[in-house]
Structure 1
């Protein structure tokens, strides 16, 4: 156990031999220990030593252990365990009612005493961690709000984004599925001088060579293409390694020439936009396999950002889950469930192949289970439902669920669509498409 994980205890007993015996016991169990002979000294030591638990005798000259208990601040001060050779049942009951964590009689059984103190210290440590998380979440804003986390990898990523946002150089974002590539692309756009311009996200895997020219450059009917609409903004090429080769050649020409040839034969139209691309695979391997043009890769990877996996930033798991459960609790109109030791253990034991997106889905299942009065993180991680739980009309059930969820998110965020998209964990473009597909009336919801 390292120093950051070591439990700490403040011992209070006027009997020198008892103090020394308790110090020896606690240090042998790996605790950091400080001992004082009088309860009057506790107030001075709390701030400097910051113990996880206080163990105090009851009967002492001057301030007694019960007096000490009365002076502690519930919910803020460390838990107090009282120990006495003169205790009785009424005294123990009264002490527990007044806020003591436990009452132990002398002579004590060492193993039982250690168990009580460990539980008290762990409870205090968890309460402090939860309070720090809440305070940190309240302070988050801007890029910290978009890319939540305190791990070294995520802090370095935020610094890189701030640096690259000032440049027009093409950026290639590499990362596993669910690591937040579109969020990073939007952050690069929002923090750049192009933030007042449009952000156009193209799913390259879904682009059709047959319809690409008409859709992107404009058709014979004079209808303007989508690439004209991104002039002055940012073009986001998602899943660029899955782009059809015929389409890659046309995209490369636009990027190199900075102009579009409309399908109606009219004069070329100049366009200016920043190119940000993303891939969940090794682009060099895609080039070697003939799936990605090398000249296109040279054009889009002037700068590269490698997004960390959730496995690389496990210290952020509790922070992220707390954030998601609070956010989704507002969406689903449910109190966010508290995190227990078993929940944290389940978080740490999982490999998170789906990264932050998977964690958000787990948080949503946890909130929905809590709304029904049960559930745990371990249960939320079990993603294989029983066949009997699948409705007969699955498509309709999914549509109804999405309609309800998006509607509640629109209400919760008062129609601020960027906030709605972020709360739901989807891109703004995807949100707009779902609103149209589900025939949602935003104005009627507000």
Structure 2
């Protein structure tokens, strides 16, 4: 995988003329850019979250939504610049387009060098604007890291400092820690604080990768479906529990990582794959290698930096702070006051061995909040997963609504209200998400 290499400009072309689309794609790819093309402006809104273009080049006169209509729909913070191109252009149209917010207006037939220059300037300016915004918000993000990687023990302080240091260094990172210690949280923090934060973060559960279906699911099928690896282009690929992969699958992963190329099934040749790799395992990697469960060459390729996450049993000084945080978190989701921690609660927390680590503590805190809805319960009771069965909704409809309410609320808090990211995590459309928030009576502002 490339490390630190500049990501090619990403261009989206909108033109109802198939020959013109093909010509423009060929021109952009000859310049070393990534180019996608569609025939209708109405398709753009659905493609923006997936393609994340740096600049859009659109024809003006098209069936249905015109280029000027598309321009009007793109107005708002974060929208990529739009360059309009038309064979019917005149001074009046050009002035109208520029006043409406178009980056530039180009007439057909166009000068290829001039068009590429305009698109390059537009895309580079957009990237600089996004980067400036990201850097401006970075101080807030860094302070927010304390809320993501919670804890005041020396091990957690050192871990946060290392995450900050490694976020911009594009070396591969290997995370080692028991189940529930937060390896996925660390991987996401490395992505969110790095230069590729606006690109995709793709997490793969390697324990679920079978040798039989590996290439179809990971590499994709040419012309039919995109593989999981291609979904991480330009961003971060998180290989969770990489040691659980069949050894043959590990060999295929190693080839992809070493060559930086993926060949979809049926494709005429390999496709470049530029992404940062973060891997994780819940066992000691040296022991896994000795037992033959983890290929040493794959581990050495993935372990540019190794971070070891401490188990919760070694962080007992953090228990009160973590429990208080999670109680408040779930109290906000269930729209109630957080139950206070008593001396007996703390004693129960300290006496527990926490085999499930921080993930287990989250579940315990949620159970404690569910008990508090009926003015009863303690942390000692919440440590028993069977004690809240009577609090389950009485009907299937109520149970589904409660489940949706909890999942949406957690996703809203996790993504700090970014609706596109919330919808992507939940696997639903943005409009469906808005409708569910209204239907379930969720107060978005109160959750954030």
Q: Give the secondary-structure state (helix, strand or coil) at the position aligned to 1:210.
A: coil
- What secondary structure does 1:197 align onto? coil
SS at match of 2:225: coil
- What residue number does 1:418 align with? 415
Structure 1's 397 and 212: CA in aligned 2 closer, same or farther, altered over 3 A?
farther
What root-mean-square deviation, in Å, do the aligned CA atoms of Structure 1 and Structure 2 show?
3.1
Task: Tell me what 2:164 maps to.
Answer: 162
CA-to-aligned-CA distance 1:65-109 (integer Å, 9 cap, x gap): xxxxxxxxxxxxxxxxxxxxxxxxxxxxxxxxxxxxxxxxxxxxx
Q: How does 1:325-336 map to 2 (within 5 A)?
A: 325-336=327-338
Using the TM superposition, give the Cα deviation of residue 392 of structure 1 relative to its aligned residue in structure 2, in angstroms.
Answer: 13
Match of residue 214, structure 1, among 199, 213, 216 = 216
Q: What is the aligned partner in structure 1 of residue 357 from structure 2?
A: 355
**Match of residue 19 from structure 1:** none
Partner of 2:383: 381
Q: Counterpart of 1:298?
A: 300
Distance 1:287 1:178 in 2: 22
Q: Which residue of 2 aligns with 1:432?
A: 426
Corresponding residue number in structure 2 for 1:367 = 369
Paired residues for 1:251-290 under 5 Å: 251-290=253-292
Contact preservation (8 Å) 2:217, 2:228? yes
Gapped regions of structure 1 (runs ≥ 5): 1-137, 422-426
Q: Cα–Cα, structure 1 residues 211 and 140, in superposed 2: closer, same or farther, change >3 Å?
A: closer
Shift of the 304–400 alpha-carbon distance from structure 1 to 2, 3 Å rule, reads same
Write the distance in 2 (CA, Å) between the matches of 1:248 and 1:394: 45
| Paired position in structure 2 for 1:403 | 404
Tell me if the contact between 1:172 and 1:278 (Cα under 8 Å) persists in the aligned partners.
yes
Give the gaps of 5 or more residues in structure 2.
Answer: 1-139, 439-448
Q: CA deviation at 1:319?
A: 0.7
What is the TM-score with the length of structure 1 in the denominator?
Answer: 0.60
Moved over 6 A (4+): 390-398, 427-430
Per the TM alignment, residue 432 of structure 1 is displaced from its structure 2 partner at its CA by: 2.1
What secondary structure does 1:263 align onto?
coil
Q: Structure 1 CA distance, aligned partners of 2:142 and 2:164?
A: 16
Distance 1:172 1:278 in 2: 6
2:423 and 2:153 map into 1 onto residues whose CA distance is 29
* Whole-Å separation in 1 of the counterparts to 2:162 and 2:414: 27
User: What is the rounded CA distance, in whole Å, between the counterparts of 1:391 and 1:363 in structure 2?
Assistant: 16
Q: How does 1:181-220 map to 2 (within 5 A)?
A: 181-220=183-222
State the number of aligned residues. 296
In 2, distance between residues paired with 1:239 and 1:377?
A: 31
